[in-house]
Amino acid sequence: MSEETDESFRWFVVAHRRSLLRSALLLTGDRGHAEDLVQTALLKSYRHWDRISSRGEPVAYVHRVLVTTSTSWWRRRSATEQVMDTIPDRAAGPDQQRDDELLQALRTLPPRMRAVVVLRFYEDRSEAQTAELLGCSVGTVKTQTSRAMARLRELLSAAPTEREAVRQ
């Protein structure tokens, strides 16, 4: 690759790494896995950077690589593997507790539903943009969004509130 291409890619990484990492964290639910996911997506993108950057939408392309790589990882993950939650260093406040409950609920969604929720509500992408990134129809995005939101509502309404937890 040329120096110009390398410089362009370095600039891209500096400008977008934080956003990619945030999305990866929401997709994986684990900081270490998120960092690995971002590195893998960037490596895959770097191999074709001349083509990607010349098309004018490198951010969308790299996000798509991130989502598809995440989906592939989740599919390969063993059905028997169990994720252990870490013990928090300090007592979480109500907002932190709610965020943790939401992250835990996101982890239970199938990879495609999780990707739709992350793209639509955390990255504020339209249904059309989400469909393009995932390589599916807008109707599929609408269906997956509806099912994911229903599942999240179900899971979060079943989670004990702080007051109920104190009583137990």
pLDDT in tens, 65-83: 998 898 887 666 644 454 5
CB neighbours of residue 117 within 10 Å: 24
SS (H, E, C) 33-79: HHHHHHHHHHHHHHCCHHHHHHCCCHHHHHHHHHHHHHHHHHHHCCC
User: pTM for the whole thing?
Assistant: 0.64
Q: Examine the pLDDT at 116 and tell me if it is beyond 90.
A: yes
User: Which of 2, 129, 17 has its CA nearest to residue 54?
Assistant: 2
Secondary structure of residue 3 in the 3-state scheme: helix
Q: Examine the pLDDT at 60 and tell me if it is beyond 80.
A: yes
Q: Band of the pLDDT at 149, cuts 50, 70, 90?
A: very high
Domain definitions of the chain by residue range: 1-78, 92-168
Query: What confidence tens digit (pLDDT) does each residue in 27-42 have?
Result: 888 899 999 999 999 9
Take residue 149 and report the two structure tokens written for it: 């939101």
Is it true that domain 1-78 has CATH number 2.60.40.10? Answer: no
Mean pLDDT within 110-127: 90
Q: For the ranges 4-13, 71-80, 121-130, which has the lowest average pLDDT?
A: 71-80
Task: Please state which CATH class domain 92-168 belongs to.
Answer: mainly alpha
